[in-house]
């Protein structure tokens, strides 16, 4: 396995940050400073990042968490607020794949596979993500068409979404939205620029990985079918 992959697979750093750390002279192998991220590493090699021993992690793990509202998508918070890492196993160390903001609920992946994380987060790969947004009125056909083409949402960016359905439930409208990009707070910004109230937001699908009946605050390992999906899209 390449040196940068050993570090990213340990859960310490992302793929890109692992490469940067090596090139910035932060990594030794068997006591020797190494600047080449792409050298081959053996399981018995002693790898250290800032003198911290890195475990050669052959077993890659990816899990799905149903994130509750009120939790931050980060490993720690200087203000002591709750984070999603309080809800998942500490071993092996995992990294979150992308983020859901504090008040958004639903599907978020965590993994120690740095290559997978990088692939899923890269905009060019256009992984579908499905959300249920709750609002107080239907989107007009005009706005649905505008969203398909893209609307200005500030910071010189456009927000795009496919509206799959709209249903009235308990006096509120549930809008199923499908996005293929991951701009920060994109759906909240879309609703703001459409002058619509966003009452709640839940992500229910990432590619072919569905939240289904996973309880809020719970996590599960991916199924063989879901792992095969991830392997297929990376091949």
pLDDT in tens, 184-194: 899 999 999 99
- The tokens for 52 are 């911290």
Summarize the confidence of residues 71-75 as an average pLDDT.
95
Quick: pLDDT tens for 94-123: 999 999 999 999 999 999 887 788 889 988
- Give the model's pLDDT for residue 78: 92
Q: Token match 């600047």: residue?
A: 35
Would you say 9 and 92 are in contact if contact means Cβ atoms under 8 Å apart?
no
In this chain, the answer to whether the domains covering 62-123+212-234 and 128-206 adopt an identical fold is: yes
All structural domains of the chain with their residue ranges: 3-54, 62-123+212-234, 128-206
Catalytic residues: 101
CATH class of the domain defined by 3-54: alpha beta
197 vs 155, residue with greater confidence: 197
Number of residues that this document lists for the chain: 235
Check: CB of residue 66 under 8 Å from CB of residue 76.
no
Hey, which CATH number is domain 128-206, 3.30.70.141, 3.30.70.1560, 3.40.50.300, 3.40.50.720?
3.30.70.1560
CATH architecture type of domain 62-123+212-234: 2-Layer Sandwich (3.30)
Interval 200-216 mean pLDDT = 97
Mean pLDDT for the stretch of residues 118-136 = 93
Q: What was the pLDDT predicted at 60?
A: 81
**3-class SS string, 72-88:** ECCCCCCCCCCEHHHCC
> Higher model confidence: residue 114 or residue 63?
63
Bridge partners (DSSP) of residue 137 are none
């Amino acid at each position: 396995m390449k040196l940068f992959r050993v570090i990213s697979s340990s859960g310490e750093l992302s793929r890109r940050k692992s490469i940067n750390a090596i090139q910035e002279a932060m990594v030794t192998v068997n006591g020797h400073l190494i600047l080449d991220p792409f050298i081959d590493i053996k399981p018995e090699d002693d790898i250290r990042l800032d003198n911290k021993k890195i475990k050669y992690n052959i077993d890659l793990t990816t899990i799905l968490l149903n994130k509750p509202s009120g939790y931050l998508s980060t490993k720690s918070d200087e203000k002591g607020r709750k984070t999603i890492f309080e809800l998942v196993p500490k071993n092996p160390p995992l990294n979150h794949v992308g983020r859901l903001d504090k008040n958004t609920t639903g599907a978020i992946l965590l993994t120690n596979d740095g290559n997978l994380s990088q692939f899923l987060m890269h905009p060019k790969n256009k992984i579908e993500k499905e959300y249920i947004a709750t609002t107080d009125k239907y989107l007009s056909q005009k706005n649905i068409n505008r969203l398909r083409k893209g609307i200005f949402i500030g910071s010189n960016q456009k927000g795009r979404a496919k509206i799959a359905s709209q249903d009235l439930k308990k006096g509120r409208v549930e809008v199923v939205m499908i996005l293929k990009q991951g701009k920060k707070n994109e759906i909240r910004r879309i609703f703001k620029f459409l002058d619509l109230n966003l009452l709640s937001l839940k992500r229910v699908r990432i590619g072919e990985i569905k939240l289904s009946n996973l309880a809020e605050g719970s996590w599960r390992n991916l199924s063989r079918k879901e792992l095969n999906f991830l392997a297929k899209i990376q091949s």
